[in-house]
Structure 1
Amino acid sequence: MRKAVELLSDADGELRALARHIAALAAVEQGRVRQAHRHARLGLTAARRAERWRLAGQLQLTLAWIELERGDVDASWANLVAAEPQLSAAEQGRAACLRGLLHCQGDQHREARAELTRALRSLTADDDRRWMANALMGRGLANLYENRLEAAESDLAAAERVFASAGQAARAAGCRHNRGCVAFRAGDLPRALRLFEEAVAAGLDVRSSPEALVDRAEALAAAGLTADARAVMEQAADRLAACGRAGRLAETRLALASCALQVDDLVAAVQAATSARRLFRTQRRPAWAALATAVVWQAKLRAGQCSRYSLSAARRAAAACAEFGWTGLAAELRLTAARCAARAGMRAASRKLLAMCAPLREVVESPPQHRALGWLAEALLAEQDDDAERLFEACEGGLRAVDGQISDMAAFELRVHTAGLAAELGDLAVGAALRSGDPELVLRWTERSRASALHRRALRPPVDPQLNSALVRLRSAVQGTQRTRDPKQALRAVAGLEEQVRHRAILVEGRTSGLPMQSGLDELAAELGDAALLSLCSYRGRLFAVSIVDAKVRLHVLGPESNAHAQAARLRHLLARQASGTAPRAAPMFEYGARQAAEELQAQLLDPVLPALERGRPLVVVPTGRLHVLPWAALPACRGRGVTVSPSVRCWLRAAQDARAADPAGSAVWIAGPGLRHAEREARALHGAAGGRLLVGEVAITDRLLSTVDGAAVVHIAAHGRFRDDQPLLSCLDLADGPLYAYDLDRLHRGPATVVLSACDVGRSAVSRGDQLSGLATTLLGRGTATVIASVVPVPDERTVGVMMSLHRALRGGVAPAEALAAAQAEHGESGFVCLGYGGDR
């Protein structure tokens, strides 16, 4: 670009035209499309004045490329047609390549493949390696849009090699990025995200190619990380508008519409998709316009526009999507329209739409989520036919497809957010099981559909030096906020590093292994012994429970879910206020309110097992929704009673195996973080009573802790703790070198057998659809810890030390963790701690 600017001062017309051509090509590489367009137009004028017709033809060929980048297909064709008569035989191959790319841009993918294949023969004969790579990349994209994914991967990998051998690292990185798009279309989200990241590391500049941000954001949205995706897309839209790239700006608006759809922002979805459709039609891109139309009708149907006209328009939009290869989007729209038709009493129309989706379940080469959509359609058809056996079979097939998708997801956060379709299939099956009135069937299907992220474990801890480095920098930045003179700047730095940590964490490679399926009733009853089991589930706003007492299984209706949630929130609020201290005159009011809320919860939730609890039986409870963070010890019947809270029966059974597999001679580790008055005194007292390893003061740092607690028998951490509702895996415990995050705990090879977290609120988990849980405690359970004892509400410091001393005294005496905690809390008048996981002895 600098050389071109120097040449522009020359008076020679041909040299000025050549300089403009060089400047245009350089500006294209920089992503400055408006500037490139200006240089090319001025160069074309200079070449014509100098009567250098071959140079004019070359400039028009470049202008055709630039107009393609701008999204003006008509102008691109016009320049290409005008350029061709003046091009040499060698340059005709380039023109053919550009013709193929224009066909691809116009959604004429079959014609594009044919034209680019012809171009490749000519370019290969001339050894025009740069344009060979362009043609391979274009053909790879045409194959991608036709769902010929193996051919697309082959072409794009070949283009990447050619660009790399020619020293064009940025272009090679662009091919690596497009291979990520192939992986995304195949449903392999972890690989897609890794390839996008590798492309940036290899030299892809997202500032000059902001469309790369759109592709990454679409993958994040598909993984359920919608808030992250929207932020990236909005950033990309601003850059695309600034660069003049109207073509990809339309795709960005469409992606934003899809994100809005995921979070039920239906008005925003309609507006963004309508704007995108207008741009696609202007650009004469019928396939993308069809996709935008489908998103518009998806949003309108979900907003309640369910007239015959709306259903007819939605059917046409879905048919257009399917014709252009958007199979998954067509199926999603047909499913939504089928549900609307069923609600409106149009049974025949509903069945016709579902029947169009159901064959997807048999298409083996389809991505797992497409097959799951087909199974969902089959399940809905079976529900309409009142055929429970076929419905269960379809739901099982769909859940297997979803499970196949997450089997390669080593990153826990991806597994949590990719389970939305599993929850929908599970709801259908649970509803059918409830209608049957069979408690064993209800238990089986609630177990099959819930907490599926925890039902898989990474075969090895994530090993990523960049993630570890980001965590170290984040800890340092958090500590720096305490010393800085510019707190706003420091907090911005912390937020940026938190985003880096999350970004690296979802790129973790590896496979996972599934937990064994739930044993039969006899095996479960044998493991329970004299304990009672209460498994809760919700369906259409009502709570249900399956109880097992003395091997007898019963189904119970517990009433409105909203009532239980309201009382649970009230109880947690009142206990938190009591912990923070209240005026003496107000204390009785808070105590009365907490007692009243606890009694109402007990009457609604525990009635099925109250007789067993009154006989002194321990309780294993599997909550649902916001009841996962309920302080169960506050309920009258649970005071002094061993209560274990588990994400699922399968997790409880696996934790029992983990407890038995733990080394009985394993060490005890006592850890104290800084800034908490009682922490070091508590840790030293416990160490003095039981021996083991002691980490306090400056030695209580993250790496030392992780290496010491890996596989230990008992670990006790007394520290300040913070739970993050917005980012649960950034929940943390304060150590000498800064926060210990859930991401750090995920690096353990094997979690300690029993972990006690003497810190406020860190027993809580964020609960997403399908009872997917994430937080510090669930991370430990996922790494093989059998039992975690932690608080779900703030606990006064002055009572914590006493509770902990009594708890560990009972544990050393051989008392099971759940019973030891119950006795310790009853002794000291506390109820904020819960026993998570297994809670029994070996």
Structure 2
Amino acid sequence: MRDVTAGSESVLELLPLVFADPGEARARAEQVLHAAPPPLHASVAHQVLGIWQRDFGDLRIALRHLRRARDLAARAESADREADVLATLGVALVHAGRTRQGLTSFERGVARGSGHTRARVLYRRAYVWWVLGHHREALEDVRRALPVLRQVGDDIWTARALTLRATVHLALGAVDRAVADFTAAERLWDTTGQEHDKADAVESRGLAAFRSGDIPAALRLLDEAEERYAKLGTPTYMLSIRRCEVLMAAGLAPEALAEADAAIALLDRIGGQSTRKAELLLAAARAARSAGDPHTAVARAAVAVRLFAAQRRLWWQTHARLVLIEARVAAGRRSGRLVADAAAVAGKLASFGSPAAPEASLLAGRIALALGWTADAERHLAVAARSRHGGPPPARVTGWAAQALRARAAGSRRGVLEACRRGLEVLDDHRMTLGASELRAHASAQGAELAALAQEVSLAHGTPRRLLQWSERWRATVLSAPPTRPPADPALLSGLTAYREIAARAEEARMEGRPIPALEREQRRLEREIRSRTHHIRGAAPHEGDRFDVARLLDRLGEAHLAELAVVDGRVHVLLCGQGRVRRFTGGPLAEAVAEAEHVQAGLRRLAHPGAEARLPLVEAAGLRLQELLLGGAAAQLGPGPVVIVPPGALHRVPWALLPALRDRVLSVSPSAGSWLRARETEPPPGGRHVLVRGPGLATGGAEVPELADRYGTATVLEGDAAQVPRVLEHLDGAALAHIAAHGTFRGDSPLFSALRMADGPLIVHDFERLARSPYRIILSSCDTARLASVGADELLGLVTALLPLGTAGVVASSAPVNDAAVVPLMLALHKGLGAGLSLAEALRDARTTLPEDPVHQATGWAFAAFGAA
């Protein structure tokens, strides 16, 4: 290696190197100091080590290096050198929470520097103003610095200044200005070797994409930035803060909380920046509040408020106070003091030009309404409602929510419904920019309040038909259009293949009793990678889609009845559709029904094994109680024809065939009336191909499959080594009927990794979403294949709901563990009915009647349900 002490020019190269290759810069700086350099060179080396420790290590060590660099610069009698170090020291002091000392250091730096050096000092002070939330001061210092940096041709510092100005514009909601500056900065970065700054530019573009409402692009760019930082070996605290914000907007609050807490723990271990810790605490508080954990949110936000106050960061402190008040309200607190606090926060945020100001005004209005202070509520809600006409989707939704609350307080039913309609239309457009079904489902949570308000008004002042329309408006929206088909992304495809291999190895080791922690860690890593890749997929352009039409539903029902269970204020209301009309019946409390359903599930699990016969009367009695809670007076009005049940997400595990009024009926279940209509109108594919799949490890060996193969004659049979995921998917695509006998695994923590076990590993929901068209009819003959995760407003994620938007008109699946031996006669009878021209629901009803009357077979019949309309 060349002698880095040979001259000032070679030593000064270390300063740009610390952002191009931080590890190399640190090593060279240490070599310089070992060679007993003159004060000027030693000053540069200590400054480089101070920057490294400030950004990637221990802030206390950073301050020692930077103070030493400042003293050595003074000894070298270099005013510009001293000014440069004073600026670096000022940044470190502010990050350490010593704001006054940091600003004093900058004052001295501006006074000592001249020309080019002073411009770089002004840029760094602008950065500090941004950290402190003083955006006007930041823009003024950038305005003074940029012409000088451009004049001397300093591309690196010009690009940094443009990136900073763009970031400040984003904080003020000026997205277009920010994008223009980011674009100009990126052109300059392409001409430099500043890899760390390039990674920062990618991260900043991710933030700009998020502010523009493009969540998939934001996640993709932030992941790319993380990969770049990882190659440089540098921590990513700011990236974690930004990703938390994007994850929360995508409805992934638990993931955001985990990321923030992990970054906080790392900062605490290394003694890192106090400013970043405060920002991460704020991110964690927001995530905890969104995840429904107000007590954690209060704890995190309170510490953040104290830290921001000590750091003299009023802009940040005010945002943290907003989250603290929101969390306290979520925890059940209501008081006039909280109204005043929220109003004061709203005023300060408005004075800062913060996009969060309407949110604070809405909060003040909500609390005032809860206290019965209608005049105060109207004043605050009117301010919040102004945001409904402009800005990003969350701000407009906030405005429409405020407008709906104003209308409700004023007694205007029409005003409430109009505001709810407009707000949900904003969210419709936003959801359709998301390609991943998981993100679409979680995004629906943002419309839950608007949908609930409309249902409350419709129940109190409208007709059953109107209540049905609003019940459908925000129910199972993820099924209204298929997810965007993942592109032929080699990284995604190789990730899915690697995931199958690791999962299969883990399953094999588990069965042999061998330890598997390393395999499980790798499996979790691959799951994160696959989810991340799918989240990058952008949705199709917003479209109107099919609007739910009650008249069309009633016409299509014919002699059948459809019972949609709407939940308003915690109580079940049955909307019974049929014979040209919609009637409403009152059920029981939802909480009681959910608890009873869990008791039934436990009973069915026991009945799946011989020897639990004594539990059968208990399970049947629970079925009667469920009927009273869920159907009420509607049970006696179902008529003789088929019945379609449309339950809310919380009740998706009810074994509906157990209810006495439904036990002997042609019965199907659907996540929404709209999805039933789409299934009813789905045409079967040409060709009529039949596919039979038998996975490994079944107690009966999938005994029904050979008999079905003989019955169908020309069916494609995939078993043994032929039942591998790529080949199974190839044959399932566009099939008329598929029967899959394979172990099912439901993943409540990550429902799109729910799986069917094939010869080479799990066939997961993400695999099904890659089909051009899923089978018209599909029968899943194993345990738990109908289990779903309730997310968002009223969305369901799992195997069944992955199939319905992709061209499947009907599914038969089980919502509980079943006895493998008892499944075989049920499946054979079911296919006999299909061969006679019956629908899935008709064939399943008839198949139950052929089973032996012992508890094991009865429980097996109740566990299976027909979904959809085929």
- Equivalent position of 1:305 in the other structure: 333
Q: Does 1:169 align with 2:195?
A: yes
- Equivalent position of 2:416 in the other structure: 391
Please give the residue correspondences for 1:775-790 in structure 2 after superposition, counting only pairs within 5 Å: 775-790=798-813
- Equivalent position of 1:267 in the other structure: 295
Q: Does 1:648 align with 2:672?
A: yes
- Equivalent position of 1:194 in the other structure: 220
Q: Which SS does the other structure have where 2:770 is aligned?
A: coil
Quick one: which of 234, 237, 240 aligns to 1:213?
240
TM-score, normalised relative to structure 1: 0.94
Is this contact kept in 1: 2:589–2:629, CA < 8 A? no
Per-residue CA deviation, residues 625-678 of structure 1 (Å, 9 max, x unaligned), is: 4322211111223234211111111111111222x2x21423111101100132
- Equivalent position of 1:96 in the other structure: 122
Is this contact kept in 2: 1:136–1:155, CA < 8 A? yes
- Equivalent position of 1:343 in the other structure: 370
Q: Distance in 2 between matches of 1:546 and 1:125?
A: 72
Change (3 A) 1:38 1:483: same
Most deviating of 185-194 and 368-377: 185-194
- Equivalent position of 1:413 in the other structure: 438
Q: Distance in 1 between matches of 2:358 and 2:479?
A: 29
Q: CA deviation at 1:249?
A: 0.9
What amino acid sits opposite 1:149 in the alignment?
V
Q: CA deviation at 1:577?
A: 0.8
Q: Distance in 2 between matches of 1:61 and 1:426?
A: 53
Q: Does 1:689 align with 2:711?
A: yes
Change (3 A) 1:489 1:832: farther
Q: Distance in 1 between matches of 2:167 and 2:61?
A: 26
Change (3 A) 1:612 1:293: closer
Is this contact kept in 2: 1:301–1:337, CA < 8 A? no
Please give the residue correspondences for 1:88-127 in structure 2 after superposition, counting only pairs within 5 Å: 88-127=114-153
Most deviating of 53-62 and 411-420: 53-62
Per-residue CA deviation, residues 50-83 of structure 1 (Å, 9 max, x unaligned), is: 4444433333233234435545443333223323
Change (3 A) 1:380 1:76: same
Q: Which SS does the other structure have where 1:554 is aligned?
A: strand
Is this contact kept in 2: 1:206–1:212, CA < 8 A? no
Q: Distance in 2 between matches of 1:787 and 1:319?
A: 54
Q: Which SS does the other structure have where 2:652 is aligned?
A: helix
- Equivalent position of 1:838 in the other structure: 868
Is this contact kept in 2: 1:410–1:512, CA < 8 A? no
5+ residue gaps in structure 1?
none
Q: Distance in 1 between matches of 2:445 and 2:172?
A: 27
Q: Distance in 2 between matches of 1:308 and 1:629?
A: 43
Please give the residue correspondences for 1:347-426 in structure 2 after superposition, counting only pairs within 5 Å: 347-363=374-390, 366-426=391-451
Q: CA deviation at 1:688?
A: 1.9
Change (3 A) 1:276 1:820: same
Q: Which SS does the other structure have where 1:327 is aligned?
A: coil
Please give the residue correspondences for 1:65-144 in structure 2 after superposition, counting only pairs within 5 Å: 65-144=91-170
Per-residue CA deviation, residues 758-793 of structure 1 (Å, 9 max, x unaligned), is: 110111111134321001111111322111110011
Q: Distance in 1 between matches of 2:739 and 2:488?
A: 25
Q: Which SS does the other structure have where 1:405 is aligned?
A: helix
Most deviating of 301-310 and 413-422: 301-310
Q: Distance in 1 between matches of 2:258 and 2:845?
A: 45
Q: Which SS does the other structure have where 2:190 is aligned?
A: helix
Change (3 A) 1:609 1:815: farther
Quick one: which of 450, 462, 466 aligns to 2:491?
466
Q: Distance in 2 between matches of 1:276 and 1:566?
A: 39
Per-residue CA deviation, residues 549-584 of structure 1 (Å, 9 max, x unaligned), is: 21122111113223322322222221111003335x
Is this contact kept in 2: 1:536–1:544, CA < 8 A? yes
Q: Distance in 2 between matches of 1:53 and 1:318?
A: 45
Quick one: which of 67, 72, 89 aligns to 1:63?
89
- Equivalent position of 1:178 in the other structure: 204
Cα RMSD between the aligned structures?
A: 2.2
Quick one: which of 546, 560, 575 aligns to 1:531?
560
Q: CA deviation at 1:476?
A: 1.6
Is this contact kept in 1: 2:739–2:779, CA < 8 A? yes
Per-residue CA deviation, residues 381-440 of structure 1 (Å, 9 max, x unaligned), is: 111122111111111001001111111101111111111121111111111111125111
Change (3 A) 1:30 1:262: closer
Q: CA deviation at 1:361?
A: 1.1
Is this contact kept in 1: 2:80–2:117, CA < 8 A? no
Q: CA deviation at 1:291?
A: 0.6
Is this contact kept in 2: 1:515–1:654, CA < 8 A? no
Q: Which SS does the other structure have where 1:760 is aligned?
A: coil
Q: Does 1:149 align with 2:183?
A: no
Is this contact kept in 2: 1:116–1:135, CA < 8 A? yes
Please give the residue correspondences for 1:395-544 in structure 2 after superposition, counting only pairs within 5 Å: 395-481=420-506, 482-483=508-509, 485-511=514-540, 516-544=545-573
5+ residue gaps in structure 2?
1-25, 852-857
Q: CA deviation at 1:680?
A: 4.1
Q: Distance in 2 between matches of 1:692 and 1:760?
A: 24
- Equivalent position of 2:598 in the other structure: 569
Is this contact kept in 2: 1:811–1:820, CA < 8 A? yes
Quick one: which of 788, 792, 798 aligns to 1:765?
788
TM-score, normalised relative to structure 2: 0.91
Q: Distance in 2 between matches of 1:684 and 1:282?
A: 74
Please give the residue correspondences for 1:246-325 in structure 2 after superposition, counting only pairs within 5 Å: 246-325=274-353
Is this contact kept in 1: 2:657–2:865, CA < 8 A? no
Quick one: which of 812, 816, 820 aligns to 1:797?
820
Q: Which SS does the other structure have where 1:559 is aligned?
A: strand
Quick one: which of 724, 746, 762 aligns to 1:739?
762
Q: Which SS does the other structure have where 1:533 is aligned?
A: strand
Per-residue CA deviation, residues 167-209 of structure 1 (Å, 9 max, x unaligned), is: 1122111111112222323333222211111222344668423
- How many pairs are equivalent? 830
Q: Which SS does the other structure have where 2:448 is aligned?
A: helix
- Equivalent position of 2:35 in the other structure: 10
Q: CA deviation at 1:611?
A: 5.0
Q: Distance in 2 between matches of 1:21 and 1:313?
A: 44
Please give the residue correspondences for 1:36-51 in structure 2 after superposition, counting only pairs within 5 Å: 36-51=62-77
What amino acid sits opposite 1:303 in the alignment?
A
Is this contact kept in 2: 1:140–1:151, CA < 8 A? yes
Is this contact kept in 1: 2:667–2:842, CA < 8 A? yes
Change (3 A) 1:664 1:811: farther
Q: Distance in 2 between matches of 1:248 and 1:115?
A: 22
- Equivalent position of 1:817 in the other structure: 840
Change (3 A) 1:182 1:351: same
Q: Which SS does the other structure have where 1:831 is aligned?
A: helix
Q: Which SS does the other structure have where 1:674 is aligned?
A: coil
Q: Does 1:631 align with 2:660?
A: no
Change (3 A) 1:4 1:369: closer
